Structure 1
């Protein structure tokens, strides 16, 4: 049986919308159907620049995309401060929802979104693309191998890039009324998600932001770090920044093994990605080397890049609801909420002078 093509509408013409538009085109069970902007000319130009099919519709408002009965799902890449309004409306209009991260300014807002999704039986997924990369599943296999990796002991996660002067003054991610979570929301979200992924989404007991967080004059976070503590004594750290060279490192250390990946958010090469593992490693005689040496694993993604894998998966879930009467998959909103809970705690710890903060439930 042929797959049903899920028709996507896109709200706005943000830069990230280019990448997801391309992903929708690549996904075998998805169709670029409509784009809405505050300007019809802008919507038409976006569609022309991004390979929309000739049958695509253009609208001069976000409401019009929601009101189109042929739209099955909407992708929302709008500023975080607008998420709750437009995501709730999408759910109320029975549109399935792919929402850019961070999903909201705080967990209370996110709960409004999820309540609307649950009340209207629509699927929710956030736009954390690396979760859908086949490399992620391969890394999880190694972490789950008790003989090679053992018990998880600690994690270190870093995501930074160096914003230029224009970015630091004018980008929406440094504006308190648009994306007030700054680097914590934009980059720290990925670090937190990677940590939760590695611990099977068990929430930490406490979060303690590290001293030295940098905020701009408007109070938006430009750089920060945090440690997370679990009841079993496990402690992990992450750092995120708009002020440092591009780095996307994830290190997972177990009692018997280690995993390193240097581009975990966005692979250096879209078609071939790497990660390294080491198991039961020690020094050679007189500490002149390692034995055994770490090994590299290569994961090919010639068929679909990670963003298209994400779109394919959300479309599969939507199809199962539309055609098979399935219920929405609850895992995705659950892990989004847990990520938001930890993010909220990090922000609160910064605001309280880097004091430990209990993670809410």
Structure 2
């Protein structure tokens, strides 16, 4: 354990908090310091079930975690409808903020969260774990190489999984009072982030939702698709669903190369991840096959991607705490651009699948 690790408090006992608790324990510069729930019994059980250190504090409210002067940072996995209240309060209490995605129901609410973080000098980061895998940096080298990949022309992204009946009836992600964006805010967030990542976070000009989205009885999205369009002709499409087999694919096509990825959100294996890259592929004579075949690239990691996320967040928080550095603005900028696209998809559906212009 590094000297003076960043001391994390966790607000709530959601399932994803189990994974992030493990990530905090694995991170060399972070420590599990506190957990709070709406009941002390639930918080105690969560701490015991997830092997919190004996010294960790257990609270029967979220406020107590935020009021603890020894908590440096908080991870907030609460339902999206609660993000504005608790994220802003965390920032006002000078706690660095690791916020689960989607970051807000709309960009208007996220802007309030980001403003609170900026005003109080705290680091913001959302919980998009795959951004921190070393594979992601290696893939960026490829798609940024004009000789191997060329100019980006199109992106396709899919994230689907077949939710069970209990999920489709009771999970917070299908409840309008908790996570009204449904699959768009959950799986769709990852799809949109992958598109923006491939496009070097250049926002599209317009977004058009595809016809045929599926809603539950409460009006929450269970499946949807959309296309993104840039002025110079670049185009992207994505599909997200709670109703189809588990799939996590990204394909980015350039003028010279192609990137293929089959497990972009959660790698098939925790300690390594692969991607396929092809440059100047063409047909053999008589079109009997391909030449310049795709090559497979495997990237090893000593820490799972979620622990790398915690470690990077803690590094930034430590720099602010101990060296007076400024928060890194790239992370809230990425979050805001992702949220802008979600808002546009939702607006396009509501407007009868019209094109919605992106205004940053």
TM-score, normalising length: structure 2: 0.99
Aligned pair count reads 360
For 1:121 and 1:277, how far apart are their aligned partners in 2?
40
Match of 1:214 in 2: 214
Match of 1:101 in 2: 101
Q: Give SS of 1:70's match.
A: coil
Match of 1:234 in 2: 234
For 2:217 and 2:349, how far apart are their aligned partners in 1?
16
The Cα of 1:4 is off from its aligned counterpart by: 3.1
For 1:288 and 1:15, how far apart are their aligned partners in 2?
51
For 2:108 and 2:99, how far apart are their aligned partners in 1?
16
Q: Give SS of 1:55's match.
A: coil
Match of 1:224 in 2: 224
Match of 1:54 in 2: 54
Match of 1:40 in 2: 40
Q: Give SS of 1:142's match.
A: helix
For 1:256 and 1:276, how far apart are their aligned partners in 2?
14
Q: Give SS of 2:299's match.
A: strand
Q: How does 1:1-361 map to 2 (within 5 A)?
A: 3-301=3-301, 303-361=302-360
Residues 196-234 of structure 1: CA deviation (Å, up to 9, x unaligned)? 111111111100000111111111000000000011111
Identify the range of structure 1 (126-135 vs 41-50) with the bigger mean alpha-carbon deviation.
41-50
For 1:148 and 1:297, how far apart are their aligned partners in 2?
14
The Cα of 1:360 is off from its aligned counterpart by: 2.1
Output the aligned Cα RMSD.
1.0
The Cα of 1:122 is off from its aligned counterpart by: 0.5
Unaligned 5+ runs, structure 2? none
For 1:142 and 1:3, how far apart are their aligned partners in 2?
36
Residues 310-347 of structure 1: CA deviation (Å, up to 9, x unaligned)? 00000000000011000111110011001001110000
For 2:234 and 2:277, how far apart are their aligned partners in 1?
21
Q: Give SS of 2:344's match.
A: helix
The Cα of 1:286 is off from its aligned counterpart by: 2.2
For 1:14 and 1:286, how far apart are their aligned partners in 2?
57
For 2:347 and 2:195, how far apart are their aligned partners in 1?
19
The Cα of 1:293 is off from its aligned counterpart by: 1.5
For 1:21 and 1:287, how far apart are their aligned partners in 2?
53
Unaligned 5+ runs, structure 1? none
For 1:140 and 1:14, how far apart are their aligned partners in 2?
32
Structure 1 residue runs of 4 or more that deviate by more than 3 Å after TM superposition: none
Is contact 2:153-2:233 (8 Å) kept? no
Residues 112-158 of structure 1: CA deviation (Å, up to 9, x unaligned)? 10111111111000000000000000000001111111110100000
For 1:111 and 1:273, how far apart are their aligned partners in 2?
34
The Cα of 1:3 is off from its aligned counterpart by: 4.5
For 1:296 and 1:22, how far apart are their aligned partners in 2?
30
The Cα of 1:292 is off from its aligned counterpart by: 1.6
